[in-house]
Chain A
C-alpha cells in the first residue's frame, strides 16, 4: 500500500468507469422514452381534470415523490421476481427468473419514477400557456390534436425544458443506485475494480469525474436545444 494516490490505478479505473457509461445512458434513454409521453398524457389528465385518471396521477405522483428511489428499487427487485415466479409456475413456463438481466428492473424503476416527475413538470409547463392560445387555434379551425401539436406543446416545451434537463441529470445520477441490483453501470464497475486493491478513493474520484463530464455534456446539449426552441422569445425588435 502506498501513501498517496495510485495514479496508474486512477487512470485505468477511469476507463473502467467510462465503460459503464453505455449502460447508464441506455437506462436513462429508455426511462425517458417511456416517461416523456406517459408523463405528458397524465399531465393532460390532470390539467383537464379527467375523472379517475386525474386522481390516479395525483396518487401516483405523491407515492413516488414520497419514497426514496432506493426503496423503490428494493421493492421492484424483490417483488417482481416473486410475481413472475407465481405466474410462470401457474402456466408452466420454463423461464429462469433469477437469470433475468437486472437492466429490466432498472427500466421499470427508473421509468416509473421519472414519469412521476415529468407529470409535474408538464403540468406546470402546460399551465403557463394561456387558454387563449388553444382557443385561438380552435377558432381558426384546428382540431384539438393539431392545436396541441402546433401551438400549445411547442410553447409548453420551452418552459418545461430546463426542468426536463434537471430531471434527466437527476436520472443519470440516480442510475448509480442501480448497483443495488447489480446493474453494470458506472458506479458498480468502478467499485468492483476498487475492491481488488482497496483503492476506493481513486475509484470514487473516477466515478465523480465521469458523472460530472456526462452531466455537463447533457446540460450543454439541453441549453443548445432550448436556445433553438426559444428563438421566438429572444428576438428583439
Chain B
C-alpha cells in the first residue's frame, strides 16, 4: 500500500536519513522505535512533504512520486491520502473541536458542510469527545486535544495515518486515554505508522516494529522478534535502556 524507497535527507552538512526503505501493507500498524535524533520525525515528515527529502521514491498504491521533485499536484494528492498526528497536537487554535475536524473536509475536499459536520461528530464520538464539539483547544486538556488531533486525522478517512510521538507531550496520567483511542482505531483496520516510545503499545498493537538508529533501519520484525530475540547489538542496547530491568515480554 505504501512503499518508500531509499530516502535521503540532510540538514546542512548533517545527514539525518541515510537511505531508508519502508513497506506497509493495508491495515497494518507499524511502530518505529529509536533513540532521540535518529531521524524518526524527519522520516514521517518527508512522507507527507512537510519536509522535502533530498532523494527517494514513494508509491501509494497506484500513485508513484519522487520525494524530492514531486509536483504541487502530487504533493496535494499524497496529502489527501495521508493524515498526520503531531507530537504537539497542533490543533487550529482559532477553531472549535468540531471545526478542527471538519476543516480539511470542507475547505480541503469540498465536502458539503452538513455532511462534513456529521462525519466530524462521528469522529469526535469515536474518541470520546461527544460533549466537546464546541470547545476551543484552549479549553481542552492535553489528552483531549490529542484525541481531537486523532479525530481530525480519522475524519479524513486517509489511506494511512502517520503518528509522531502522539503521547510524549502528555502528562503521564493522560497517556492512557490517547493510547486507548489509538488501539481502537487500529482494531478497526486503520493503516498506521507510529513513532512512539510506548513499548506496551508496540508490543500489543504493532504488526511490525522497526528499529531506527543514526538515519538507517537497523532491524525490523514482529514485536516478538524485536523485543524477545533482537539480533543487532544496537537494538539490544536500546531496549535495555528503555525497558525496565525486570521487564518480561509476554506475547
A residues contacting B by CB (< 8 A) are 130, 132-133, 135-143, 146, 150-151, 154-155, 158, 232-233, 235-237
A-contact bits for B152-167, CB 8 A (1 contact / 0 none):
1000100000000000
Distance of B140 from chain A, by nearest CB (Å): 8
Find B92's partner among A137, A141, A146, A233 (CB 8 Å cutoff): A137
A155 touches B94 (CB 8 A): yes
B108–A132 touching, CB < 8 Å:
no
Partner of A146, one of B91, B95, B107: B107
Bound state CA distance, A130 and B95, in angstroms? 15
Q: Provide a sorted-by-A list of 18 A–B residue pairs whose CB atoms are within 8 angstroms.
A: A135-B50, A135-B84, A136-B84, A136-B92, A138-B50, A139-B83, A139-B84, A140-B103, A140-B108, A141-B104, A142-B104, A142-B108, A150-B103, A232-B95, A233-B93, A233-B136, A237-B135, A237-B140
How many Å lie between the Cα of A70 and that of B82 in the bound state?
56
- Residue of B82, B86, B140 touching A136 (CB-CB under 8 A): B86
Q: Chain B residues near A151: list those with CB within 8 A.
A: 92, 94-95, 103
- B117: Cβ under 8 A from any A Cβ: no
- Chain B, residue nearest A149 (CB): B107
Shortest C-beta distance, A198 to chain B (Å), equals 56
Q: Is B76 an interface residue (CB 8 A)?
A: yes
CB atoms of A133 and B90 under 8 A apart = yes
Partner of B86, one of A132, A142, A158, A233: A132
- With known contacts A141-B108, A146-B107, A136–B139 Cβ distance under 8 A: no
Least CB separation from A136: chain B residue: B90
B94 adjacent to A154 (CB under 8 Å):
yes
Contact count band on B: 20 to 34
Contact A139 B93 (CB under 8 A): no
The 9 closest A-B pairs by CB, nearest first: A140-B104, A141-B108, A132-B90, A136-B90, A139-B84, A237-B139, A232-B136, A154-B94, A141-B79
Chain B nearest CB, measured from A137 CB (Å): 7
Q: Are A143 and B76 in contact (CB under 8 A)?
A: yes
Q: Within 8 Å CB of B80, what residues of A?
A: 141
B222 CB within 8 Å of chain A:
no
Q: Which residues of the partner chain B approach A232 to less than 8 Å between Cβ atoms? A: 93-96, 136, 138
The answer on a CB contact under 8 Å between B88 and A132 is yes
Q: Which residues of A contact B135 (CB under 8 A)?
A: 237
Chain A's interface: helix, strand, loop or mixed, by majority? helix
Asked whether B107 lies within 8 Å of A150 as measured between CB atoms, the reply is: yes
* Closest Cβ–Cβ distance, residue A3 to chain B (whole Å): 60
B residues within 8 A CB of A140?
79, 83, 103-104, 108, 152, 156
Query: Which among A139, A142, A155 is the interface contact of B48 at CB below 8 angstroms?
Result: A139
A142 contacts B107, CB within 8 Å?
Answer: yes
Q: Is the CB of A235 within 8 A of B138?
A: yes
Structural contact, A141 and B94, CB atoms closer than 8 A:
no
Task: Indicate whether A141 sits within 8 Å of B139 (C-beta atoms), given known contacts A146-B108, A150-B107.
Answer: no
> Are B109 and A141 within 8 A (Cβ)?
yes
Least CB distance, A118 to chain B, in whole angstroms: 21
Which A residues touch B76, using CB under 8 A?
A: 141, 143
Bound complex: CA of A233 vs CA of B86, how far in Å? 22
Q: In the complex, what residues of B have CB within 8 A of residue A158's CB?
A: 94
When each residue 93-130 of chain B gets 1 if its CB lies under 8 Å from chain A and 0 otherwise, what string results? 11110000001100111000000000000000000000
* With known contacts A155-B93, A232-B138, A233-B138, A137–B86 Cβ distance under 8 A: no
CA distance A159 to B83 in the complex (A): 29
Chain B residues whose CB sits within 8 angstroms of the CB of A139 once the complex forms: 48, 50, 79, 82-84
**Residue of A132, A138, A140, A143 contacting most chain B CB atoms (<10 Å):** A140
Instruction: Enumerate chain B residues within 8 angstroms of A136, measured Cβ to Cβ.
Output: 84, 86, 90-92
Known: A140-B152, A142-B103. A135 touches B90 (CB 8 A): yes
